[in-house]
Structure 1
């Protein structure tokens, strides 16, 4: 937490316990083409906007209550509670329900709308025999637990159901839908589109799609592939692919709450050249995680060609002595960051406009460097086709501090505008989940910081002259914030105004120019 004012300590956040959720992979045989159903999430949803996903959702309190009150319902299935969630979500999201014979049918539109308005309606319709649940028997084929990237996490159980040659098509509820489009995909086609950055998939579904394609290659057809996955559903650790050529490895660090981890990134593809960004490992737990990842990388024949640090704060730079025992590679970073790192002849200074290519599997992935010094001197971002590794410029959850000690509020705001103007498809921040809607996130940050900048200016204009009184007035909408942080951020804004010659400081008091 190098951005904290000297002497300020904040309690570390706790890692969230995952909540259960469930998704259904529906497969069909369409004139010899074996396909699976995915739906496109609307741009307005907060999680994974414009991503393709399987129908499903979180296990709700209502679902648990229904299971408790009706213990015979779906008792033949592997997991009755998650199956209840599946069936409720299926009706809500795509208008499907069991047909009583092991397949699915399209439900009455009024039933779908009623369940969208009230989850309790699902069990009522079942009791009235307006919805069937008998003979529904999906197979559990995988389980994925979201890494500790956010205060809310899920363990998602993926089920599979084949509907044979059925020609039913989804129907989205009007005005209420998370989805705006659907498509039946051949799994290999879906993976190829993702690898070319032509579609977006949530990380758990990337590795699952890879597993499906591999199982098809081994077993020869889609149904046999799902049988293989059902025999031993994959669980536990999985590679976390945010985008093609961008893996995330969350490392536990002492960082600013609500974050509990720093995002270490592995760039490049399996078997090709790789670069590790921000290996922040210091604790035994973090070093072990990094060690296992390096073994995994090297087992594919990949070579780690460099380590890059986005900036110099201690929650981004790990224990270099111990890390050097795990792997060795030249350090590439800015001049300012290199100044705090033990020197080596292999070091390389990265500056504005530098670029590099990672070669692998007959292709190359290009990245370039931009300087965004606002958060701290020497802060850099990596710009690629998949998106921007943005360090500590923004975060989806929580906030970013601009230290008054060596940060620069004006440069910070300029950096946000610059990242926005590059229009990245995704943002990969230093902490927390990636941003699937960078423009929305950056606009929020820019608007908020500019409004706060003006509040500080107006406080001085209205004759608040001492730092503490300016801070209290400028942040009166956040009474629960840490007082020392409010003062430090106010001072950062004041220094920005002084640099812009809007305000002057005389004897510890501030005046409008």
Structure 2
């Protein structure tokens, strides 16, 4: 059964726009080799709060103008990205690159750039701010996966200074509140033990740098020069968390999502479990196969497939997937009811556990969105299926969903206080408490509003929906009636209301 109500036509979703961006991998000499600067993003940031990231930002219109007018920059995408990066250096860490190396920017000059980024170009052009482009080299180009309405193609520039000054926070508001220098191996180990949270593209970049350093006998300049000759820009693992690879597969799902997040869990070289391989299209199946083959090339083996629930945007073409790999299916009885079974399959129940590479995963039954829906939790976070998403919404189908159970399941996840939430659609949730509380507050308010409508004598479902959704005038008419029915049925099960023919009334005492 689909979660989408009858009569709802899935709109064609345009491909997300892709914006250019730039990030700085700045290194210095350290006791244990070259160290990279990591910046801690403040908890109020809308994206990746409390993550450790590289300085950088998006390329603007005036960065492109700067690239065309400043002689030290090339008048192309690389030049515009470098202009953006040098501007962000001033704003975020108080540096500029001079003929003598990295130096502090005068506080007044820095404030001018922070107040209006376009001032960077004018200050450099007029000689009020140095901007030496020598030493910067692109070591990787990464495009973010199709998980959100906005995507970025990020150019990662390397710059080495043997002994740069310590970065300095601006006097006003800042994206960052702390700085840390670490070798690539130290950073990767801190991420692997969950001591630091680092955005996915930077994890695979760290792995690339470590590999290049090993080939260059620890010489960071040689290692990054080799990388810059052919910057790795192709397909990489999307590592949302330690031992968790995300494989976004194109599916026919509820907009604005266009993909379902399949997860490959377990360490490379060890046993793996594949969660929600939803691939049905040729492109999706080919992508899944590439990720499985990449894991197998490192000695890994898939020991099971887990489905979080039985909706069709989570279960792929099992016949064609079995040609990619073969493994038993682990799922709840409700999910198994729509899947062909074999002798090695396993029925999952609440409280079951399994261990991969020393990490124990716990099965949590979280019904409401769908009977038999499960989540998988461990110390790194929760693979949460269709419980909550960062972009869009979650439907509770009136046919086989249950609003009360859904709210209870949300409360259960919230009580676990996970460090991150790994949803089936869209980007990860870095602050699950905030997301889950928003869902609970929103759904409880809507639940009360539906009951208020009936108490006020409104009996026809479309009018109840209009009343309950008067704060959301752009809500799709079919979806809001569908969700209103889910709320009404929950109130009916609780004995608060009753349905007489097609009219909804308060229950007779």
Q: Provide the TM-score with structure 2 as the length reference.
A: 0.96
1:32 Cα shift?
Answer: 6.5
The answer on whether the counterparts of 1:280 and 1:315 sit within 8 Å (CA) in structure 2 is yes
Is residue 398 of structure 2 the alignment partner of residue 398 of structure 1? no
Indicate the residue corresponding to 2:243 in structure 1: 245
| Cα gap change, 1:323 to 1:30, in 2 (>3 Å) | closer
Q: How does 1:244-323 map to 2 (within 5 A)?
A: 244-323=242-321
> Which stretch of structure 1 is more off in the superposition, 153-162 or 76-85?
76-85
The CA deviation string for residues 346-373 of structure 1, in whole angstroms up to 9 with x for no partner, is 11111100000113xxxx1210101111
Q: Who is 1:200 aligned against?
A: 197
Distance 1:497 1:76 in 2: 63
Contact kept, 8 Å, 1:98 with 1:131, in 2: the verdict is no
What's 1:510 paired with? 504
Q: Answer yes or no: is the 8 Å Cα contact 1:51–1:201 preserved in 2.
A: yes
Q: Take 2:264 and 2:439, find their aligned partners in 1: how far apart are those partners?
A: 27
Contact 2:67 2:74 in 1 (8 A): no
Structure 1 unaligned residues grouped into runs of 5+: none
Of 332-341 and 226-235, more deviation after overlay is shown by 226-235
**TM-aligned CA deviation for residue 117 of structure 1:** 1.7
CA distance in 1, matches of 2:12, 2:75: 44
Query: Conserved in 2, the CA contact under 8 Å of 1:387 and 1:424?
Result: yes
Q: Secondary structure at the match of 2:29?
A: strand
Distance in 2 separating the partners of 1:416 and 1:117: 42
| Secondary structure of 1:402 counterpart | coil
Tell me the secondary structure at the aligned position of residue 214 of structure 2: helix
Deviates more, 1:125-134 or 1:77-86: 77-86
Distance 1:32 1:352, change over 3 A: closer
Q: Which of 139, 147, 150 is the aligned partner of 2:148? A: 150
Tell me how far apart the structure 1 counterparts of residues 171 and 307 of structure 2 sit (CA, whole Å): 47
Distance 1:155 1:331, change over 3 A: same
Note if 1:189 corresponds to 2:186. Answer: yes
Shift of 1:135: 5.0
SS of 1:433 mapped into structure 2: coil
Q: CA deviation at 1:302?
A: 0.8
**Maintained 8 Å contact 1:41/1:180:** yes
Distance 1:301 1:31, change over 3 A: closer
Query: Is 1:336 the equivalent of 2:334?
Result: yes
Distance in 2, matches of 1:175 and 1:314, equals 49
Where structure 2 has 5 or more consecutive residues not aligned to the other structure, the ranges are: none
Alignment of 1:78-93 (within 5 A): 79-93=78-92
Instruction: Tell me by how many angstroms 1:165 deviates.
Output: 2.2
RMSD of equivalent CA atoms: 1.6
**Contact 1:78 1:140 (C-alpha < 8 Å) held by counterparts:** no
* SS of equivalent to 1:316: coil
SS of 1:97's equivalent in the other structure is strand
Q: Output the CA distance in 1 between the equivalents of 2:309 and 2:437.
A: 23
Match of 2:4 in 1: 4
> For 1:329 and 1:14, how far apart are their aligned partners in 2?
35
Distance 2:132 2:275 in 1: 51
Conserved 8 A contact 1:14-1:260 = no
- Residue 213 of structure 2 corresponds to residue 216 of structure 1: yes
1:451 matched to 2:450: no
Match of 2:150, SS state, is coil
| Alignment CA distance shift 1:459-1:52 (3 Å) | same
Alpha-carbon contact 1:77-1:137 (below 8 Å) kept? no
| Corresponding residue SS for 2:207 | helix
Cα deviation, residue 75, structure 1? 3.2
Indicate conservation of the 8 Å contact 1:150/1:433, yes or no: yes
Q: How many residues align?
A: 506
Q: Secondary structure at the match of 1:287?
A: helix
Cα distance, 1:61 vs. partner?
A: 1.7
Distance 1:78 1:139 in 2: 14
CA distance in structure 2 between the partners assigned to 1:78 and 1:119 by the alignment:
18
For residues 22-171 of structure 1, the aligned pairs below 5 Å read: 22-30=22-30, 33-68=33-68, 70=69, 72-75=71-74, 79-101=78-100, 103-166=101-164, 168-171=165-168
CA distance in 2, matches of 1:473, 1:151: 30
- Equivalent residue number for residue 363 of structure 2: 369
Partner Cα distance (1:75, 1:275) in 2: 47
Write the deviation string for residues 140-171 of structure 1: whole angstroms up to 9, x where unpaired: 111111111111000100001111123x0111
> What is the CA distance between 1:287 and its match in structure 2?
1.1
- Give the ranges of 4+ consecutive aligned residues of structure 1 lying more than 3 Å apart after TM superposition: 30-33, 75-78, 134-137
What is the CA-CA distance between 1:100 and the residue it aligns to? 3.0
Answer whether contact 1:74 1:133 (CA < 8 A) is retained. no
Which of 401, 414, 434 is the equivalent residue of 1:420?
414
